[in-house]
A and B are shown apart, each in its own frame.
Chain A
Amino acid sequence: MSELKIADLWKGYSAQPVLRGLDLDVSAGSLTAVLGLSGCGKTTLLRVIAGFERAQAGRVSLGSRVLDDGRTYVSPERRGIGYVPQQGALFPHLTVKANVGFGLGRAERKGSAVAELLEMVGLAAFAERYPHQLSGGEQQRVALARALARRPEVVLLDEPFSSLDASLRTRVREEVHALLRAQGVTTVLVTHDQEEALSLADMVAVLREGAIVQAGTPDELYTRPVDVELARFLGAVNLIAADFARGVAATALGELTLRPEPDAGAATPRAGHGIVMLRPEQLEVVPRGSVTQGAAGSVEQCRYYGHDALLHVRLDEPGEERVLLARVQGEQALPAGTPVVLAARGPVTVVN
């Protein structure tokens, strides 16, 4: 297993740059999600890694092997990188078995390898079927088995679950995740679904306008996004004005501890004014009079999701922050108009 490194990658079509100096390190054996809105360049990135497109500048390397650096270019068939495109792209003229064995030599195809792969994805009974006789989820699993057949060092998944129904998506996602884990193969997953990225990946790299704006563990990204835009992209967020002093933020909701900077220690504690970020689940909704610290308000709207509910709470004090979002357990949903107190749990993150 070796690390996939992408350094200062530029790629564009007809003078319109799509990737602008992109850097990304994918550590060996990890599952890295590249998260971005459609049109941000994530598919182009995948295609350059796979070798379907050539880099205009920069460098793609796998371990000690340079795949593409503007001079050297390894063609896709010599890269040993598996690829699962959006809709699976199973060869419609071949059976499931022949699809999975497509990249194998004649001898290997005859052996037990194909059967084992089909066993692995739980489709041993489907060997003689044709792709159109399979459901969307089954097609995806065959596509994955086909990509894994040649024991690639890296597997690329291009929005593999987006074409599936919501009900099927979660299940197929879990199955695929378990499979990739079991194989220990380095995986790059491209998606626009932040929930998918956060729940599946070891590392998430957020791509915006052709460059990585932040890469880190799902937890790092969710709790310490580099900017407001990213904070909003990863989930609902409350932004509150604060005064900083001695590692504490004074806000309309009371004094909240600041999340320590990742490379803290040497840095002097923050001072002055700024904005802090609170996720809805950091706000607690309590009846009036039961707490000392907090801000009084009333429920304006209640979005009920079953497992939980999102309350829109308008604060009584006419401050700069009008409506805050609070996530509560489903059974704690309150009707609009209920007077409440919002209590916050730190730590909070300063955002720019």
Chain B
Amino acid sequence: MSALAPTESTPSSARAPRADRFARAWSGRRRWPLASIAGGLLAAGLVLLPLVFLVDQALQPGWKEVERLLLRHETAVLLWNTVRLALASTVLCAAIGVAAAWCVERTALPGRRVWAVALVLPLGIPDFVVGFGWVSLEPGLHGYLAAVLIMTLSLYPLVYLPVAAALGGVDPALEEVARSLGLGPWRTFWRVTLRQIAPAVLGGCLLVALGLLAEYGAFEIVQYQTFTVAIFTEFNLGFDTAAACALSLVLVVLSVAVLSGELALSGRGRSLRAGAGSRRPAPRVALGRWRAPVLIGLFVLGGLGLGVPVGSLVYWTVRGGSTTLPPASILTDAWHTAELSAAAAALASALAVPVTALAMRHRNRLTLLIERLAYLPQALPGLVIALGLVSFSVRYALALYQSTLELIVAYAILFLPLAVVGVRSAMAHTSLSLEEAGRSLGRRPLVVWWRVTLPLLAPGLGAAFALVFISSATELTATLLLHPTGVNTLATQFWAYTSDFSYGAAAPYAALMVGISAVPAYLLSRRMITLARMGRR
């Protein structure tokens, strides 16, 4: 592209037709990667589709109605509920995540390896299962504080993980220099360490805040009214799709606000990346008399975050087993879940390939936009995407409404960012020059793609598939809206039993979901670190 810069400034090319200039952006001699562009545009279109029809549906009753709906007192209450929950939980997650990461990464804590895994595992338990775990044991638990408690315990690993990774990357020489310049350990932490890990903290907080905005199940369980709960009620009980869509728009605005706030903050910290050379690992701090309090704190955190939900599941499964053994339907539901999730994972991985190929090999404004759009669902609640798809299918493609295909597409859109992250790391190992080498050895492009590029992409595709599969298998909100009548997944059946207070019957479904996602939670955690870093680009 830089080679084109001088010619672009000449008057003749400034007057060149748009299409011509556009064509030349594809770096001259190379042909347009038509297949990739088609795939990329399809991915971008799928992401945009629910948003477009969400707006369309919200505006159906006219501006006046939207205005009336959004300027109600109830909307203000919802806004206040959502914002105060997001603020409190995000701040708590940041504090807990940073403190825990520092203890595990920087101190001579006994059993560090075990803690490093145990502190991440809550990520493998769906939030609504955590909510179930607490409320089924303590039915009196509800409202704001319950929501803060449950969400903090479920989401703090999203801060813990990137911060732990970042702490490992901070040059210890910086802290040593600060000490030699007369700063004590605490002031060194504030003035140097914290500044270095700030992008990681911010990235983690972003994921926490987005997760909070998107959550539905846990809030329903603790009877706390947020936007998602209200939207769901409006749609499901009030059958008012337009109102639900209008409220969803507020949710989208909130998510975009969070996202741009994070971008603005981390943009200021761009100068943080200075040259990193050979480094020694940071020496670990002896805990001394802090040893007992730190260990107690971590045990409490682990006990509340992991022990309570898991213990509750075990308790209800054992107790429920004697009376109401779930019928064979658990197998059918598991099979449905696996089918749907596998199809979604395949679709999302397939869409991720052209998106990343374009973004990494043919960088220009269009491909960059496609890549950004592919990351967008990370900021969109599943409920919003599901509502958008419902609006689209009900009005323009009724055959699709609550069809298997629609649910699969919803999952694929929702978890496209995970697939892109997975494929992207593998795409870095492929290169055009490898393909050119294959071509020079007399192979046609498709053969080269099949024999050279695809094998190199395989590990990334595998990771992408696994990530999307796990996330789809434990998805609740969109599934509730979109699942075909008569087809239940683990999540929806769990939800049905929980709503009837049949905790014993619900527990095995939750246990199965936790089983699916908890084992690879550690793998997922590594990807999350990458995702948190991607988010900053």
* Interface residues, chain A, with chain B CB atoms under 8 Å away: 47, 50-53, 75-79, 81-83, 85-87, 89-93, 102-103, 130-132, 143, 146-147, 149-150, 163
Nearest CB of B to A237, in Å: 31
**Which residues of chain B (163-207) have a CB below 8 Å from chain A?**
171, 173-174, 176-184, 191-192, 195-196, 198
Contact A103 B182 (CB under 8 A): yes
B515 on interface, CB distance cutoff 8 Å = no
Contact of B274 among A81, A82, A92 (CB under 8 A): A92
Would A131 and B274 be within 8 Å (CB), given that A53-B283, A89-B173, A93-B269 are in contact? yes
Would A83 and B184 be within 8 Å (CB), given that A93-B271, A132-B273 are in contact? no
- Which residues does chain B contribute within 8 Å of A50, judged by CB atoms? 176, 180
Contact B277 A163 (CB under 8 A): yes
Contact A86 B183 (CB under 8 A): no
By beta carbon, the residue of chain B nearest A139 is B275
- Which residues does chain A contribute within 8 Å of B269, judged by CB atoms? 93
- Which residues does chain B contribute within 8 Å of A81, judged by CB atoms? 180
| Bound form: Cα–Cα A149–B173 in Å | 18
B272 on interface, CB distance cutoff 8 Å = yes
- Which residues does chain A contribute within 8 Å of B173, judged by CB atoms? 85-87, 89
Contact A92 B272 (CB under 8 A): yes
- Which residues does chain A contribute within 8 Å of B191, judged by CB atoms? 102
Can you list 21 residue pairs at the A/B interface with Cβ under 8 Å? A50-B176, A52-B176, A77-B181, A77-B184, A82-B180, A86-B278, A87-B171, A89-B173, A89-B174, A90-B274, A91-B178, A92-B272, A93-B269, A93-B272, A103-B178, A130-B271, A131-B274, A143-B177, A146-B181, A147-B177, A147-B180
- Which residues does chain A contribute within 8 Å of B181, judged by CB atoms? 77, 82, 102-103, 146-147, 149-150
Contact of A132 among B174, B179, B183, B275 (CB under 8 A): B275
Contact B273 A92 (CB under 8 A): yes
Would A52 and B283 be within 8 Å (CB), given that A86-B277, A93-B195, A132-B274 are in contact? yes
- Which residues does chain B contribute within 8 Å of A85, judged by CB atoms? 173, 176-177
Contact A52 B277 (CB under 8 A): no
| Bound form: Cα–Cα A86–B280 in Å | 11
By beta carbon, the residue of chain A nearest B187 is A77
Closest 7 pairs between A and B when the two form their complex, measured CB to CB:
A103-B181, A92-B274, A89-B173, A76-B179, A83-B180, A85-B173, A87-B277
By beta carbon, the residue of chain A nearest B178 is A102
Contact of B183 among A51, A52, A77, A90 (CB under 8 A): A77
Contact of B177 among A89, A130, A163 (CB under 8 A): A89
Contact B176 A103 (CB under 8 A): no
- Which residues does chain A contribute within 8 Å of B195, judged by CB atoms? 91, 93
- Which residues does chain B contribute within 8 Å of A147, judged by CB atoms? 177, 180-181
| Bound form: Cα–Cα A50–B278 in Å | 20
Would A77 and B273 be within 8 Å (CB), given that A91-B174, A91-B192 are in contact? no
| Bound form: Cα–Cα A55–B274 in Å | 32
Nearest CB of B to A18, in Å: 13
- Which residues does chain B contribute within 8 Å of A53, judged by CB atoms? 283
* Interface residues, chain B, with chain A CB atoms under 8 Å away: 171, 173-174, 176-184, 191-192, 195-196, 198, 269, 271-275, 277-278, 283
- Which residues does chain B contribute within 8 Å of A52, judged by CB atoms? 176, 179, 283
Contact B180 A77 (CB under 8 A): yes
Contact of B176 among A83, A90, A143 (CB under 8 A): A83
Contact B277 A146 (CB under 8 A): no
Would A76 and B274 be within 8 Å (CB), given that A53-B283, A91-B174, A93-B196 are in contact? no
| Bound form: Cα–Cα A76–B175 in Å | 11
Contact B271 A146 (CB under 8 A): no
Would A89 and B283 be within 8 Å (CB), given that A77-B183, A103-B182, A150-B181 are in contact? no
> With A92-B272, A130-B274, A149-B181 given, can you name 12 additional A-B contacts, CB distance below 8 Å?
A76-B180, A77-B181, A85-B173, A87-B173, A89-B171, A92-B271, A93-B198, A102-B181, A131-B274, A132-B271, A147-B180, A150-B182
- Which residues does chain A contribute within 8 Å of B275, judged by CB atoms? 87, 132
- Which residues does chain A contribute within 8 Å of B174, judged by CB atoms? 89, 91
- Which residues does chain A contribute within 8 Å of B283, judged by CB atoms? 52-53
- Which residues does chain A contribute within 8 Å of B176, judged by CB atoms? 47, 50, 52, 76, 83, 85, 89
| Bound form: Cα–Cα A52–B277 in Å | 20
Contact of A75 among B179, B192, B198 (CB under 8 A): B179
Nearest CB of A to B176, in Å: 5
Nearest CB of B to A334, in Å: 43
| Bound form: Cα–Cα A86–B276 in Å | 11
By beta carbon, the residue of chain B nearest A81 is B180
- Which residues does chain B contribute within 8 Å of A86, judged by CB atoms? 173, 277-278
| Bound form: Cα–Cα A98–B278 in Å | 25
By beta carbon, the residue of chain A nearest B280 is A43
- Which residues does chain B contribute within 8 Å of A76, judged by CB atoms? 176, 179-180
Nearest CB of A to B167, in Å: 15
Contact B271 A77 (CB under 8 A): no
| Bound form: Cα–Cα A351–B371 in Å | 70
By beta carbon, the residue of chain B nearest A101 is B181
Contact A103 B273 (CB under 8 A): no
Nearest CB of A to B185, in Å: 8
Nearest CB of B to A174, in Å: 23
| Bound form: Cα–Cα A91–B278 in Å | 16
Would A146 and B196 be within 8 Å (CB), given that A52-B283, A130-B271 are in contact? no
Contact B179 A77 (CB under 8 A): yes
Nearest CB of B to A38, in Å: 11
Nearest CB of A to B274, in Å: 4
Contact A146 B177 (CB under 8 A): yes
Nearest CB of A to B67, in Å: 45
| Bound form: Cα–Cα A56–B254 in Å | 57
| Bound form: Cα–Cα A75–B180 in Å | 9
- Which residues does chain B contribute within 8 Å of A91, judged by CB atoms? 174, 177-178, 192, 195
| Bound form: Cα–Cα A140–B274 in Å | 14
- Which residues does chain A contribute within 8 Å of B178, judged by CB atoms? 91, 102-103
Contact A51 B179 (CB under 8 A): yes
- Which residues does chain A contribute within 8 Å of B183, judged by CB atoms? 77, 103
Nearest CB of A to B199, in Å: 10
| Bound form: Cα–Cα A52–B180 in Å | 9
By beta carbon, the residue of chain A nearest B279 is A87
- Which residues does chain A contribute within 8 Å of B198, judged by CB atoms? 93
| Bound form: Cα–Cα A85–B278 in Å | 11
| Bound form: Cα–Cα A206–B279 in Å | 24
| Bound form: Cα–Cα A92–B171 in Å | 11
| Bound form: Cα–Cα A50–B176 in Å | 9
- Which residues does chain B contribute within 8 Å of A75, judged by CB atoms? 179, 184
- Which residues does chain A contribute within 8 Å of B179, judged by CB atoms? 51-52, 75-77
Nearest CB of B to A56, in Å: 14
| Bound form: Cα–Cα A131–B173 in Å | 15
| Bound form: Cα–Cα A256–B269 in Å | 68
Contact of A83 among B177, B273, B277 (CB under 8 A): B177
| Bound form: Cα–Cα A78–B173 in Å | 17
| Bound form: Cα–Cα A76–B183 in Å | 9
| Bound form: Cα–Cα A93–B266 in Å | 12
Nearest CB of A to B269, in Å: 7
By beta carbon, the residue of chain A nearest B176 is A52
Nearest CB of A to B286, in Å: 10
Nearest CB of A to B307, in Å: 34
| Bound form: Cα–Cα A51–B283 in Å | 13
In this complex, which of A51, A76, A82 has the most chain B Cβ atoms within 10 angstroms of its Cβ? A76
| Bound form: Cα–Cα A149–B178 in Å | 12
| Bound form: Cα–Cα A103–B191 in Å | 11
| Bound form: Cα–Cα A85–B282 in Å | 14
| Bound form: Cα–Cα A229–B223 in Å | 79
By beta carbon, the residue of chain A nearest B183 is A77
| Bound form: Cα–Cα A146–B192 in Å | 15
- Which residues does chain B contribute within 8 Å of A78, judged by CB atoms? 182
| Bound form: Cα–Cα A111–B119 in Å | 47
Nearest CB of B to A95, in Å: 9
Nearest CB of A to B102, in Å: 18
